[in-house]
Amino acid sequence: MEHSHLEFKQIWNDDYLKHICAFANTSGGGMLEIGKNDKGEVTGLSNIKELMHELPTKIKNILGIHADVELKNENDKQYISITVAKYPALIGYKGTYYVRSGSNTLELTGQALSEVLLRSIGKTWDEITVPNASVNDLSPNALELFREKAVQSGRLKKEDVTVSVEVLLEKLKLTADGFLKRAAVMCFGSTPERWITGAHVMIGFFEDDNVEIRYQNIVEGSLIEVVDSTLDLLYTKYLKGWIRYEGIYRVEDYLVPREAMREAVLNAVVHNDYSYFNPIRIRVYETKIIITNMMAKIPEDISFDDLLNSTKSYRHNPNIAEVFHRSGQIETWGRGIQKIKDECLKYGTSDPVFNKVGCFFEVVFNCTKSYAKTILRENNGINNGINNGINAVTSQDDYVEITDKQKRIVLLIKENSAITTRQLAEKIGVTDYIIENNLRALKGKGVIIRDGSKKKGKWIVKKA
């Protein structure tokens, strides 16, 4: 049977050089056998001596490569076997480039061609420089957040990051020939969309699979900030935390454990194929969440199951991945998928589902039966309360849902209305950036307001 490394042809046609070209551009190379039908049965050749003389020269002169051309016998019939290895440089035929995909020979065009051309010279998409970008286009908050995370994780020492922006970028190998690489403007740029269309995260809430979106948000900014911003938005606006008690302890149950969600968002942000200008999409439903990102073409020797089982890993954006590794947010062993599974298992939720849908990678988090029952019970309680007056339902105007971290912030503000962002971060044990995000959320919900300037003003708690 024909496959990605084997092709059969009954007779020779010079146009079949494109199959040899494709094998030369495909990992593992391949073999073209002349004198066999589609089932691999030998049919023989009438001009075999002529072909044995001409083929090596044609392959060399037209494709510029060497191939092993052998005369073989099977069942007293002769056929020709042409074996070609994978070449380090991209090989073309009549100005066109081909690769093998399954048993097909495909012409490379557009972004697929650009990607292969880059790989053939040892470069990746995120390594290309952006001539019109400078350090002035980078976000000071993003750079400071990276420094804090890198030191906290122990991946870098304080003296490694207490340097100028230029030196830091050079240490991270995010510059070349005096220019910033795409990875630099993606990870730290104030507005990456200025250079890369689709460099953002879209979040939408849907009632079910068949209705229009109810509400949505777009999370923009540097990738190093987008991850935390996306998580904060998901857990403050989109996901319900159902409250229960274990003895004297108050427990909030979410559809997806935060650490599993963090790993899934990180995986999408780091590995998304931004060259196709597709943003990351997060679809939120009452009982499930679907995270989708564009999936780059993986090498022939790595299967989709290899990625899921963490037996092999592939970094489409190695420069972006290295920034997140240095900041302590991902590992280099390709264990992201396994960590998502482990966190869900620890939390007691259903196993996540990982799908390859066309050229997209999809993570589906489904709720547990107990979580679904809680939603049903809550919805029934609300309906009964409205219709029968059995359950007291607090109005949205009087009730504001805030996270545990935000509750701690409110308590500290009550104790000291002049407390600073830095002091809050030190007391709670998080970064300044996370505190600033939560303060903005609390102000947006009307829980707190700022009276006076940032330096001399104070906080006022409006809703306890």
Do residues 213 and 240 touch, judged by C-beta distance below 8 A?
no
> Mean pLDDT across the stretch 390-417?
67
> Is the pLDDT assigned to residue 359 strictly greater than 60?
yes
Condensed to tens digits (0 to 9), the pLDDT of residues 51-67 reads: 999 999 999 999 999 99
Q: Which residues contact 455 (CB under 8 A, 6 or more apart)?
A: none
Residue 248's pLDDT band, with cuts at 50, 70 and 90, is: low
Condensed to tens digits (0 to 9), the pLDDT of residues 212-222 reads: 788 999 999 99
pTM: 0.64
pLDDT at 251: 65
Q: Which residues contact 433 (CB under 8 A, 6 or more apart)?
A: 141, 144, 145, 148, 225, 228
Greatest Cα-to-Cα distance within the chain, rounded to the nearest angstrom: 96
pLDDT at 391: 39
> Mean pLDDT across the stretch 87-109?
87
Residue 185's pLDDT band, with cuts at 50, 70 and 90, is: very high
> Is the pLDDT assigned to residue 407 strictly greater than 50?
yes
Domains in the chain, CATH or no CATH each: 6-120 (3.30.950.30), 127-194 (no CATH), 201-319+330-372 (3.30.565.60), 397-461 (1.10.10.10)
Closest CA to 263 of 324, 204, 319, 314: 324
Please count the other Cβ atoms lying within 10 Å of the Cβ belonging to residue 261.
25
pLDDT at 263: 95
Residue 388's pLDDT band, with cuts at 50, 70 and 90, is: very low
Condensed to tens digits (0 to 9), the pLDDT of residues 320-358 reads: 999 999 999 998 777 888 899 998 888 878 789 999 988
Percent of the chain scored above 90 by pLDDT?
52
Please tell me the least confidently modeled range out of 114-128, 201-215, 261-275: 114-128
Structure token digits, residue 378: 């809550």
> Mean pLDDT across the stretch 357-363?
91
pLDDT at 289: 94
pLDDT at 71: 94
- Greater confidence (301 vs 191) lies with 191
> Is the pLDDT assigned to residue 245 strictly greater than 50?
yes
Closest CA to 239 of 290, 280, 205: 205
pLDDT at 331: 85
Backbone angle region of 266, left / alpha / beta, with phi > 0 → left and psi within -120 to 50 → alpha = alpha
Residue 389's pLDDT band, with cuts at 50, 70 and 90, is: very low
> Mean pLDDT across the stretch 350-368?
89
Q: Which residues contact 87 (CB under 8 A, 6 or more apart)?
A: 24, 25, 65
Structure token digits, residue 148: 């804090």
Residue 392's pLDDT band, with cuts at 50, 70 and 90, is: very low
> Is the pLDDT assigned to residue 250 strictly greater than 70?
no
Condensed to tens digits (0 to 9), the pLDDT of residues 132-165 reads: 899 999 999 999 999 999 999 999 999 999 999 9
> Is the pLDDT assigned to residue 370 strictly greater than 80?
no
> Is the pLDDT assigned to residue 312 strictly greater than 70?
no
Residue 299's pLDDT band, with cuts at 50, 70 and 90, is: low
> Is the pLDDT assigned to residue 394 strictly greater than 50?
no
Condensed to tens digits (0 to 9), the pLDDT of residues 3-29 reads: 889 999 999 999 999 999 999 988 889
Task: Compute φ and ψ for 324, nearest 5 degrees.
Answer: -70, -30
Do residues 114 and 275 touch, judged by C-beta distance below 8 A?
yes
Please give, one letter per residue, the 3-state secondary structure of the chain: CCECCEEEECCCCHHHHHHHHHHHCCCCCEEEEECECCCCCECCCCCHHHHHHHHHHHHHHHHCCCCEEEEEEECCEEEEEEEECCCCCCCEECCEEEEEECCEEEECCHHHHHHHHHHHCCCCHHHCEECCCCHHHECHHHHHHHHHHHHHHCCCCHHHHCCCHHHHHHHCCCEECCEEEHHHHHHHECCHHHCCCCCCEEEEECCCCCCCCCEEEEECCCHHHHHHHHHHHHHHHHCCCEEEEECCEEEEECCCCHHHHHHHHHHHHHHCCHHHCCCEEEEECCCEEEEEEECCCCCCCCCHHHHHCCCCCCCCCHHHHHHHHHCCCCCCCCCHHHHHHHHHHHHCCCCCEEEEECCEEEEEEECCHHHHHHHHHHHHHHHHHHHHCCCCCCCCCCCCCCCHHHHHHHHHHHHCCCCCHHHHHHHHCCCHHHHHHHHHHHHHCCCEEEECCCCCCEEEECCC
Percent of the chain scored above 70 by pLDDT?
87
Q: 412: burial class by Cβ within 10 Å (0-12, 13-18, 19+)?
A: middle
Closest CA to 138 of 84, 192, 60: 192
- Greater confidence (112 vs 237) lies with 237
